[in-house]
A and B are shown apart, each in its own frame.
Chain A
């Protein structure tokens, strides 16, 4: 298991927290919570070691269009970059409903 941390500049207040997904094979859970400050924090625990570049690429792309000031916790059991992207979008959608 590997632990990774990232931060991104952010400015928009988010009102609601959201939880989506399951730590099942090829899947992941995302816990998204509003925080104070001006950065978004991402903390990842993944069962697959050695993919920090791929995580950075997925998150860079995600934070190109997302500016919520949130703390995101990801517990991952080998999700592909595509499923990570989908789970993140699903969490955002749930937090803005």
Chain B
């Protein structure tokens, strides 16, 4: 492919990252099947923000859409990264959990229903403190219940990424899908720098950030199951593939021994760079297989 073609493909693609939460959820569900639940006109907004002087959003930054993916029943739940950093509040958390629980009920009634969770989030909404923390705990319980029946797919496309407690929720997913622009990690770069100093993590070093939290690295080290380009068709294709693939034989988060062994085998007395880490991580895998 020459440069001209590359440029044209880039210019003519429909970016997924540029879509808002509603646009993203719509794009992942089969055309004509989308139906939004508890939308902005239902005005189920956060009761806590206005009293703290923060303008609320009519859907609390969480879009729930029922429909079909590849002809199968599915629910797409999208967090709006532009509203309060996509943070989880009481209402947005309850919307996510209720949607997953309804999907569980459908599965139990014999209607296979999978869930796609679109995560652009910094984690708990600090203005809602414990309610946000509780919401994440409930969300994780609901993911664990649903993933036995149908796949729960977490997609983080960027550019906010997925951090804090929500990264733990993503860790429970049947499949994780990322773009190169996306980042995924428990503690974000600025939090690490603030807690452990700039020697530990320089949060202004973008190459370092993407070398650790970025989609490419997460995929190369097995924390994400697919790396897709920022193209709406490609993203929808990847999601459809995992929906049709069904529940994985073993969920990543059940591999406790595998991951504790890997972490134990790491030499933490020196600083690894992201590329070295990739090969080391894969070597750890090979060792386990031969052992």
| Contacts from A to B (Cβ < 8 Å) | 1, 17, 19, 22-25, 27, 29, 31, 33, 45-47, 73, 75-77
Contacts of B82 in A (CB 8 A): 22-25, 27
Contact check: which of B39, B53, B56, B57 meets A22 at CB < 8 Å? B57
How many whole Å from B35's CB to the nearest CB in chain A? 15
Complex CA gap A45/B46 in Å reads: 14
Q: How many A-B residue pairs have CB under 8 A?
A: 48
Given contacts A1-B50, A33-B41, contact A19 B80 (CB under 8 A): no
Q: B50 near A45 (CB under 8 angstroms)? A: yes
Closest to B82 in A: A24
Contacts of B40 in A (CB 8 A): 19, 29, 31
Contacts of B39 in A (CB 8 A): 19
Complex CA gap A39/B39 in Å reads: 26
Complex CA gap A75/B82 in Å reads: 13
Closest to B83 in A: A23
Contacts of B20 in A (CB 8 A): 22
- Given contact pairs A22-B57, A47-B53, enumerate 14 new A-B contacts (beta carbons under 8 Å): A19-B40, A19-B58, A23-B56, A23-B61, A24-B80, A24-B82, A29-B57, A31-B41, A31-B58, A45-B56, A46-B55, A75-B55, A75-B57, A75-B58
How many whole Å from A79's CB to the nearest CB in chain B? 11
| Contacts from B to A (Cβ < 8 Å) | 20-21, 39-41, 50, 53-58, 61, 80, 82-84
Question: B interface, by DSSP: helix, strand, loop or mixed?
Answer: loop
How many whole Å from B232's CB to the nearest CB in chain A? 18
How many whole Å from B89's CB to the nearest CB in chain A? 13
Contacts of B57 in A (CB 8 A): 22-23, 29, 75
The 5 lowest CB-CB distance pairs between A and B, nearest first, are A24-B82, A23-B57, A1-B53, A22-B82, A19-B40
Contacts of B41 in A (CB 8 A): 17, 19, 31, 33
Complex CA gap A1/B61 in Å reads: 18
Complex CA gap A45/B53 in Å reads: 10
Complex CA gap A36/B53 in Å reads: 32
Contacts of A75 in B (CB 8 A): 55-58
Complex CA gap A77/B58 in Å reads: 13
Contacts of A25 in B (CB 8 A): 82
29 examples of A-B residue contacts, CB within 8 angstroms = A1-B50, A1-B53, A1-B54, A1-B55, A17-B41, A19-B39, A19-B58, A22-B20, A22-B21, A22-B57, A22-B83, A23-B56, A24-B83, A25-B82, A27-B82, A29-B40, A31-B58, A45-B50, A45-B55, A45-B56, A47-B53, A47-B54, A73-B58, A75-B55, A75-B56, A75-B57, A75-B58, A76-B55, A77-B55
Contacts of A19 in B (CB 8 A): 39-41, 58
Complex CA gap A45/B50 in Å reads: 9
Complex CA gap A23/B39 in Å reads: 15
Complex CA gap A31/B84 in Å reads: 19
Contacts of A22 in B (CB 8 A): 20-21, 57, 80, 82-83
